[in-house]
């Protein structure tokens, strides 16, 4: 919740438990109708187990499904209604509204008896037969709320109940079950705040005078990127919501796709109060000339090739006349013995739940409970002002999911494609939807296996195929592509790419960066990716055993090399660490 680049001291008050609201006056009705349906597959699965009665599905959403637009509306309205005063309610800004993910036993119960693939074997058998509840626990939403007037951050848990009485019409209602105010933290900044910060800085008269000194009169060409202050002294304490913007300038007003990051404006120091949206400090420290216009600043086909496409690349079509090999049921995906659920959060983006592999007679084998990319950290390697404080936490400070693209068929994804939409809240509590946010499709992956008998000359060969789940996002000048690949050889691989516009700045001390063109350079950067891999117990034990064996092997190698070179093993071990670090990144 606090900006990851800030040093915080938490003074956490006790969690407030809220009593249930009145039975009728607090109901919030929505357009989405919920009905109870009897699933014949569920009944069949139940009938095959002694002592298990036929079931009626009481929920329409799996416990791991992302919050729907209707559920987000209920959660926001419930928290607003719980505000102590109108002033508190008016000051609420909704940073994040996500599913409060349930315990594993709730997920197992849902997969066993309430939702496909209906596998009662997921739960242990009890003496005298399984005891099955008539319905699952209600889904819950977790809200991170920033109060702009009081500068306070709070976390709320809202229970989302489905009302099945005929008089209610089968709608949702919300109930606050817990809330907590977190002291001395600042939640991520929102796109609304970014836009307001840019407008405030560009309207500031001393800033306009500083830009005129640099030959810039048109403020529409100026780009102001709000950067979190981080924590470098007590002045950066998270009791205040502060930003130190970086300035860039475009060359032409009629080129909306121009790379404005190719012309940094330096020598200007700005400190902005993001709570009250005012400039607190301003200094024009040094008049640094602007870099020359980049001849490749416009990267659209019309500017780079005169609007003419390349003639040496012929069309490539992916055709599946019988449709894809995967099957979709809501958020549940089945493909080549793999099955999993697709989730999405504003911070992480794509999340994979309950990844499993159906292994013949052994049945469903759990592989991972949860897979996601939880953070992307980009520290810049220049100790000079203002670049030393560039330490971007792209997930925690901006949100990978919030900045995801609406994917287009034919280039972002190719072939027979299933898209998934993503819903999240905006700063004022409204619901926004990114259509076609997650792409699911199959890809040819070369040869799976081949063998030729040298005596007979007969050969057998099989093509390989993989299932790809992906999304792409933009954080300022960086594009991130996140991909999970499932293979027919029981392999699972996740990776990311970042074809981006490199952040550059004016030349000062060349030992800290790479020179691109005259007077322009790019700082050495380390893009540190953090991935959450919550595996099943068996797989976790295997990974632990493998890691332990690898550590023992590396230590023995270090001792042996130390004896050869007559030095301490710790230096060799440090060298191994550096080598592994550079291989990983």
As a whole number of angstroms, the distance between CA 166 and CA 305 comes to: 64
Q: How far apart are CA 259 and CA 250, in angstroms?
A: 7
d(CA 249, CA 266): 11
Strand partners, 283: 269
Residue 487 annotated to the active site: no
Angle at alpha carbon of residue 226, lines to 247 and 379, rounded to 5°: 90
Give yes or no for a contact between 34 and 71, defined as CB atoms under 8 angstroms apart: no
Q: Are 288 and 264 in contact (CB under 8 A)?
A: no
**Catalytically annotated residue among 261, 380, 478, 480:** 478
For residues 484 and 496, the answer to whether their CB atoms sit within 8 Å is: no
**Contact present, 221 and 290 (Cβ < 8 Å):** no
Cα-Cα-Cα-Cα torsion 474, 475, 479, 482, nearest 10 degrees, comes to -80
Concerning whether 478 is annotated as a catalytic residue, the answer is yes
Contact between 384 and 503 under an 8 Å Cβ cutoff? The reply is no
Catalytic residue of the set 380, 394, 398, 480: 394
Q: What backbone torsions phi and psi does residue 423 show, to the nearest 5 degrees?
A: -115, 135
Q: Could you tell me which residues are beta bridge partners of residue 142?
A: 98, 157
Two tokens, residue 67: 């919050």
Tallying the residues shown for the chain, one arrives at 585
What is d(CA 30, CA 26) in angstroms, rounded to the nearest whole number? 13
Element (H, E) at 556: helix 537-565
The span from the CA of 558 to the CA of 47, in Å, is: 60
Nearest to 399 by CA among 96, 186, 69: 96
Q: To which residue do tokens 């090399």 refer?
A: 561
- Active-site positions? 394, 478
């Amino acid at each position: 919740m606090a900006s990851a680049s800030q040093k915080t001291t938490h003074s956490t008050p006790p969690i407030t438990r809220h009593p249930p609201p009145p039975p009728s006056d607090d109901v919030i009705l929505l357009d989405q109708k919920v009905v109870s349906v009897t699933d014949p597959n569920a009944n069949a699965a139940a009938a095959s187990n002694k002592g298990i009665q036929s079931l009626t599905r009481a929920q329409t959403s799996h416990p791991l499904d992302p919050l729907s637009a209707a559920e987000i509306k209920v959660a926001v309205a419930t928290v607003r209604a719980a505000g102590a005063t109108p002033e508190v309610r008016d000051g609420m800004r909704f940073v994040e509204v996500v599913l409060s993910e349930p315990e594993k036993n709730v997920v197992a119960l849902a997969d066993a008896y309430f939702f496909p693939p209906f596998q009662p074997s997921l739960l242990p058998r009890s003496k005298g037969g399984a005891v099955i509840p008539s319905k699952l626990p209600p889904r819950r939403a977790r809200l991170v709320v920033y109060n702009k007037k009081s500068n306070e951050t709070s976390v709320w848990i809202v229970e989302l109940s489905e009302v099945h009485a005929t008089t209610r019409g089968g709608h949702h209602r919300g109930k606050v079950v817990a809330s907590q105010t977190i002291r001395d933290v600042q939640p991520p900044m929102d796109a609304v705040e970014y836009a307001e910060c840019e407008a405030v800085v560009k309207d500031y008269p001393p800033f306009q005078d500083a830009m005129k000194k640099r030959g810039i009169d048109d403020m529409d060409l100026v780009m102001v990127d709000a950067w979190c202050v981080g924590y470098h002294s007590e002045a950066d304490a998270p009791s205040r919501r502060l930003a130190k913007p970086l300035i860039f300038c475009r060359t032409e007003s009629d080129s909306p796709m121009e790379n404005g990051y190719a012309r940094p404006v330096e020598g200007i120091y700005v400190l902005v109060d993001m709570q009250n949206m005012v400039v607190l400090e301003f200094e024009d420290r040094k008049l640094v000339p602007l870099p020359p216009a980049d001849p490749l600043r416009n990267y659209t086909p019309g500017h780079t090739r005169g609007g003419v496409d390349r003639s040496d690349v012929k069309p490539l079509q992916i055709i599946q006349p019988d449709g894809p090999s995967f099957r979709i049921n809501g958020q549940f995906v089945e493909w080549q013995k793999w099955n999993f659920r697709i989730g999405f959060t504003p911070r992480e983006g794509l999340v994979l739940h309950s990844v499993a592999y159906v292994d013949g007679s052994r049945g469903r084998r759990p592989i991972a409970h949860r897979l996601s990319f939880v953070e992307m950290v980009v520290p810049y390697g220049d100790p000079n002002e203002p670049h030393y404080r560039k330490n971007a936490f792209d997930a925690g400070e901006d949100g990978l999911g919030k900045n995801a693209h609406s994917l287009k068929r034919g280039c972002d994804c190719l072939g027979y494609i299933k898209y998934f939409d993503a819903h999240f809240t905006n700063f004022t509590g409204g619901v926004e939807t990114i259509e076609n946010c997650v792409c699911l499709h199959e890809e040819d992956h070369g040869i799976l296996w081949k063998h030729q008998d040298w005596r007979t000359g007969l050969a057998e060969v099989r093509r390989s195929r993989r299932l790809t789940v992906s999304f792409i996002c933009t954080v300022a000048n960086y594009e991130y592509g996140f991909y999970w690949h499932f293979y027919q050889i029981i392999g699972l691989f996740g990776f990311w790419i970042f074809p981006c516009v490199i952040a550059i700045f004016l030349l000062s001390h060349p030992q800290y960066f790479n020179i691109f063109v005259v007077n322009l350079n790019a700082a050495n950067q380390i893009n540190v990716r953090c991935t959450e891999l919550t595996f099943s117990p068996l797989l976790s034990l295997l990974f632990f055993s493998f890691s332990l064996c690898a550590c023992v092997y590396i230590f023995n190698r270090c001792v042996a090399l130390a004896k050869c070179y007559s030095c301490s093993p710790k230096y060799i071990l440090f060298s191994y660490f550096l080598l592994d670090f550079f291989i990983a990144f």
